[in-house]
Amino acid sequence: MAKSHNLPTNREVRLCMAMSLDGKITAEGDLFPNFTSRFDRHKLFSLRSWADALIVGAGTVRGENLPPLIRDPALVEQRRKNGQSDHPPVFILSNSGNLPWDQGYFHQTETKVHVVSPAERDPQTPDSVTWVQTTRTENLPQTLTRIQDLGHRHFLVEGGSRLAYAFVQQNCIDRLYLTLAPHFLGGKSNPTLLSGPALQASLWVLEQSETHQSELHLVYRHATAD
């Protein structure tokens, strides 16, 4: 299988994000609590079903409080038949190790939650949460290898904006699953797809495009994955 140069050959890392026509990935207030279609939600569940580990930024967990489940019984059943857990485990990347432990996210039993952090385990961390200790100097390829060594090789990165930036900047994404939703969201402080300093231009090759009503679904492969 084709791989980008920062990744070993036996794993694949996918990034799945949705953005508005003005490139925003979230809406202010309750105006568009969920700005994509049911079709898009199902695409997300399918990608989660493909994955054996989900990766998410601490900012998203703090902001959304939504455990990443596969809300489609047929996909869950298929995973069971494959000998997999109903829902893939989630790895929350956090430099601070500071997470809202009271949130329901950390007290559900459907998804195994790991925190990947260079910080010491917070004494408030619920017992059910596994702490994966990293180092301050570790980069994302090294962190991916660390998670891969726990037995995972199909990774789905679910954002948000700063974590997605870091994965792209460090050449860790093989495929981007992008939804372009037919809305403008505006909002000066709303993040766009990637938040971070300027990037070196690198080529992404369009592999698939599909429209669902007025929503556009694109799959791009990183060109260095040839």
Ligand X SMILES: NC(=O)c1ccc[n+]([C@@H]2O[C@H](COP(=O)([O-])OP(=O)(O)OC[C@H]3O[C@@H](n4cnc5c(N)ncnc54)[C@H](OP(=O)(O)O)[C@@H]3O)[C@@H](O)[C@H]2O)c1
Contacts with ligand X by CB under 6 A lie at: 17-18, 25-26, 57-60, 63-64, 93-96, 98, 140, 158-163, 166, 191, 195
- Torsion angle (degrees, nearest 10) of CA 16, 219, 48, 52: -100
In whole angstroms, the minimum distance from the beta carbon of 7 to ligand X comes to 15
Cis check: omega of the bond before 160, within 30 degrees of 0: yes
Nearer to ligand X, 72 or 138 (CB): 138
In the complex, minimum distance from the CB of residue 81 to ligand X, in angstroms, rounded to a whole number: 29
Report the run of H or E that residue 210 belongs to, with start and end.
Answer: strand 204-212
CA separation for the pair 92, 114 (Å, rounded) = 6
Nearer to ligand X (CB atom), residue 59 or residue 182: 59
How far, in Å, CA of 49 to CA of 6, rounded?
Answer: 25
Q: Which is nearer to ligand X, 37 or 60 (CB)?
A: 60
CA 191, 69, 71, 47 dihedral sign is positive
Q: How far is the CB of 82 from ligand X (least distance, A)?
A: 26
In the DSSP assignment, the letter for residue 225 is G
Q: Amino acid identity, residue 66?
A: L
User: Toward ligand X, which CB reaches closer, 78 or 196?
Assistant: 196
Closest CA to 19 of 169, 185, 176: 185
N- to C-terminal Cα separation, the chain = 9
Nearer to ligand X, 20 or 49 (CB): 20
Contact call for residues 53 and 149 (beta carbons, < 8 A):
no
Residue 64 Cβ vs ligand X, minimum distance, rounded to whole Å: 5
Shortest spacing between CB 100 and ligand X, in angstroms: 11
CB closer to ligand X, 163 vs 225:
163
The CB-of-226 to ligand X minimum distance in angstroms stands at 26
